[in-house]
Structures are given as structure tokens and as C-alpha cells.
Chains A and B, each alone.
Chain A
């Protein structure tokens, strides 16, 4: 069974750091781009960033709201994606999800997230 499990969430003070993990199983992790999303309480989904597969040099992209504070990495040998969050702010409070991303072509390019983890909750508060 294809599965993603996030871990590492918790309560943290503003300005501190936290590292989330996304452990994958049931598929060849190294062949996929992996994304992170978040959802603040009562709000919509927000993209955080993604990391491409090694075939695309493992490069990363980030949302403007987290660029310079958050870093995504991957360990293909362990099938884990990490989200390192530094200089946390109260507005970073959210449920954080990781996803497996799929791309293809069907008259046009397409990308979508086909597998989501259940999420891990991060609360930034003093």
C-alpha cells in the first residue's frame, strides 16, 4: 500500500525551529517529486514547497511566505522527505501535509498530488 506518514509536529515558541519528516512506503520514493502543504485552522490549503527527484537534481522551490526560513530535503535511502522550519512565526501554525507528486502529458502538461499523508500539527505559540 502506498503511504505517507508525517511526524515531528508539536508546540514550539516563536523564533524557534522544528523539523518535520514524511516517511514513504509502498513505492520507489526516489523517482518522485515530493511536496509540503499546510492548512491553518479554518483556512484553505497553502503550498509550502517541493523537492524534485534526483533525476531533476533534487532542486527545491518554495512559497514566498516561507522562503529563506524553511528548507526541504530528502533521503532517498530512507524514503524520507524533511521540512526544516526555522524562525517560526505564529502564522506558521497549521496542519502540515506531505504529498507525492505525479506529472504527465495529456494534450497539455499536467501535475497533481496523488497521495497525501494524514498531516501533522504544528502550533507556534509562546
Chain B
């Protein structure tokens, strides 16, 4: 079972904004990270720590945090953003990784 909780699926119209949330006690101590995974591919980090985007990740991806909830926002979703998105962090002790169950984003 996942120690972070995500909605299983969301859909968004092309060009519109979608927010994915992730809840868990560990997020009070550690930032959530967000990974995008397309079918048959390895995950790729899109947001880490305090709303940081690795090189090559479009600025339509952004992250935020409030209490035990982290959010990933895609502003102006594109067809290529259709993927599974996973949040993760260290657990509250800092000695394990925990994941959310993943959110499937469909771009209509």
C-alpha cells in the first residue's frame, strides 16, 4: 500500500489547467517530488523540492505545498502531457522512500 495518497485519474481539456494532489504525513517533513511516466518508459522527474524543474521540463509544470498536501499543476496541458504521474518523498523517519499510487492524466 502507498503511504502517499493520489487520485487515480483526472482528465483535462487541451490547453486547460489541471491540478494533481498528493497527501501524506511525510509531506510535513519532506518535499514531494513528481515523476511523469509514459507507457513503456522509465519515470522522469518533472518537479522536485520547492517547485524546481529540471532542465528540459516545460514551465507549464509547477509544484506547491501546504501542510501535508503537495500539488502538481499543469497550466495549459498539451497532448504530450498525457501520462501517469507519481508523487514521492522520504517517509517521516527519512529512511525509506514512499510513493503515491499514481494519477493517470488524460488530455482530451
Q: Which A positions have Cβ atoms within 8 angstroms of B?
A: 35, 37, 44-47, 50, 61, 63, 97, 102, 104, 106-114, 116-119
Contacts and interface: CB of A to CB of B under 8 A. Distances in A.
Contact of A106 (B41, B50, B90, B101): B50
26 contacts: A44-B99, A44-B100, A44-B102, A45-B35, A45-B43, A45-B86, A45-B88, A50-B97, A106-B50, A109-B30, A109-B94, A110-B31, A111-B30, A111-B33, A111-B89, A111-B97, A112-B31, A112-B33, A112-B45, A112-B88, A113-B33, A113-B43, A114-B48, A114-B54, A116-B43, A118-B41
A87 B33 CA distance: 32
B86 A44 contact: yes
B49 A117 contact: no
Interface of B: 2, 29-31, 33, 35, 37, 41-45, 48-50, 52, 54, 84, 86, 88-90, 94-102
Given A45-B86, A113-B45, A108 B31 contact: yes
A110 B102 contact: no
A34 B24 CA distance: 24
B7 to A, nearest CB: 13
Contacts of B90: 109, 111
B48 A107 contact: no
Nearest to A63: B96
A112 B88 CA distance: 8
A32 to B, nearest CB: 15
A44 B90 CA distance: 17
Contact of A112 (B42, B48, B96): B48
Contacts of B100: 44
Contacts of A44: 2, 84, 86, 99-102
A35 B31 contact: no
Contacts of B42: 97, 116-119
B20 to A, nearest CB: 14
Given A111-B94, A114-B48, 18 more contacts: A44-B2, A45-B99, A50-B97, A61-B96, A106-B31, A106-B52, A108-B30, A109-B29, A109-B94, A110-B31, A110-B49, A112-B31, A112-B45, A113-B35, A114-B54, A116-B42, A116-B43, A119-B42
